[in-house]
Amino acid sequence: MSNIGFIGLGIMGNPMASHLITGGHKLFVYDVVKVPQALIDQGATACASSREVASHADIIITMVPDTPHVENVLFGKNGVAEGVAPGKIVVDMSSISPIATKDFAARINALGCDYLDAPVSGGEVGAKAATLTIMVGGPEGAFAKVKPIFELMGKNITLVGGNGDGQTTKVANQIIVALTIEAVGEALLFASKAGADPARVRTALMGGFANSRILEVHGERMITRNFSPGFRIELHQKDLNLALSGARALGISLPNTATAQELFNAAVAAGGAAWDHSGMVRVLERLACHEVVKG
């Protein structure tokens, strides 16, 4: 049993933390919002700050929305950096800037601690089912120590390379997911406008080369009109900003990523910042003056 700290208990963090308790670990938790009572009932210890979490835990996990939030949790007043001691491991499972990640890792390393960037894919469904894909950057020794903990939260766990490489992999993942959501949205919109039943079209496509997890999960959302967030558009918008700013720094063009981002921008302008990212289809529907509906 390990003493684990978990900071950030939202849509993703809450079930992830719960799996760690179920796995037999002692959990110290903190969130800027109230700690979920269910976690306390499970046995988690609520702390008053990130510093307090870090002082109790040997492995400290952060799961917060964006780069500035991670920086504040780690290095702000009463942050993790004030509570760690040499030999501890800090694991950031948020999706943030690869460049900032390398800086954060160096600052944590200077305190005598290892750092892993370990962003995830799989959304709320994967977090609840403990089937997340976890993409890790950092030293092999720290990865080996934390891998059994990762295995309580995910299924496909890969050490990609050094610090920052996990976040780079997550950005690549988000490019593929966004473009696939757009492709599925266009396909189902085309089918519906042509008079076919998009639900049956989806079923047929799932048996062929066009099948994907996006078609399976998000295609169903588009047809059933379920846009309550598993992963909010505003968060995917943030991830594509990382992709596009990184592309500029690398001197490459990502034209379809830019198009997907513009569709997300239009969704946000229409009040959809908190829609599930499958809600991108709503922008395509407005352009077509047609809604994806069952036949």
E-assigned strands of the chain? 3-7, 26-30, 45-46, 59-62, 89-92, 114-117, 120-121, 132-137, 154-161
Which sign does the torsion angle of CA 181, 187, 193, 199 carry?
negative
196 Cβ contact partners less than 8 Å away, ≥ 6 residues apart: 295
Query: Among 121, 267, 242, 82, which residue's Cα sits nearest to residue 182?
Result: 267
φ/ψ region of 80 (left if φ > 0, alpha if ψ in -120 to 50, else beta) reads: alpha
- Verify whether residue 294 is a known catalytic residue: no
HSE at residue 43, side-chain half, CA atoms within 13 A, is: 12
Q: Report the alpha-carbon distance of residue 105 to residue 113 in Å, rounded.
A: 9
Q: Report the alpha-carbon distance of residue 47 to residue 5 in Å, rounded.
A: 10
192 Cβ contact partners less than 8 Å away, ≥ 6 residues apart: 198, 290, 291, 292, 293, 295
The catalytically annotated residue of 77, 170, 193, 294 is: 170
What are the residue numbers of the active site? 170
